[in-house]
């Protein structure tokens, strides 16, 4: 297929993570009768350490196998092979799905971080209010001003305030 270059082929699934980390391919294609436990473990490692779109071509149409493959980060699971004419669209779909999943994961991570920061900021405000006898608004303003002075995020300043307060008892 034009524009596609095979960087390597593997004899053992145990090489998968190392080869993906080494070659950093745009997409990983796996052709197997049925994804073994070793393949799934290696794909899980790839998903967490060096995420890439992954397409699995397999003869195994079992729902539990497909579900397990998707759970470890497979972007597309194609049963009973694919014709050369369909390979490019399958790869494009896998890449688009991968990018959409990565965007959702980034959003989720950002939302969790913001929620954690809010909790920490509330706790730091409470400590400042108690220590200085000021209103919630004044405590927040103090945190915000310190964050701007130190060129740090508000959540980081709040964590520092909590750390110092726990140190001082």
Whether 89 is covered by a domain: the verdict is: no
Residue whose token pair is 């965007």: 103
Query: Domain tally for the chain?
Result: 2
Reading across the β-sheet that carries 54-58, which strands appear in turn? 28-32, 54-58, 76-79
Look up the CATH number of the domain holding residue 132: 1.10.10.10
SS3 content of the chain, % helix, strand, coil (to 5): 65, 10, 25
Whether 28 is covered by a domain: the verdict is: yes
Whether 88 is covered by a domain: the verdict is: no
Whether 57 is covered by a domain: the verdict is: yes
**In terms of domains, do 28 and 72 share one?**
yes
pLDDT at 13 exceeding the cut of 90 = no
pLDDT confidence band for 1 (50 / 70 / 90): low
What pLDDT sits at residue 169? Answer: 74
Q: Where is the domain boundary, 81, 99, 132?
A: 81
pLDDT digits (tens, 9 = 90+) for 102-123: 999 999 999 999 999 999 999 9
What pLDDT sits at residue 140? Answer: 96
Residue 25: domain span: 13-81
20-41 average pLDDT score: 91
């Amino acid at each position: 297929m034009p524009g596609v270059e095979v960087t390597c082929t593997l004899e053992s699934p145990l090489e998968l993570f190392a080869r993906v980390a080494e070659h950093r391919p745009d997409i990983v294609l796996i052709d197997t009768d049925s994804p073994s436990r070793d393949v799934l473990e290696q794909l899980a490692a790839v998903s967490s350490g060096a995420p890439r779109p992954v397409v699995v071509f397999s003869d195994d149409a079992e729902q539990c196998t497909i579900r397990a493959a998707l759970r470890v980060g497979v972007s597309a699971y194609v049963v009973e092979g694919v014709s050369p004419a369909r390979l490019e669209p399958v790869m494009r779909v896998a890449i688009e799905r991968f990018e959409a999943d990565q965007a959702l994961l980034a959003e989720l991570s950002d939302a969790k971080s913001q929620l954690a920061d809010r909790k920490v900021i509330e706790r730091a405000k409470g400590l400042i209010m108690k220590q200085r006898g000021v209103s919630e608004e004044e405590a927040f303003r103090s945190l915000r001003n310190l964050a701007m002075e130190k060129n740090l995020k508000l959540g980081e300043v709040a964590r520092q305030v909590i750390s110092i307060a726990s140190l001082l008892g």
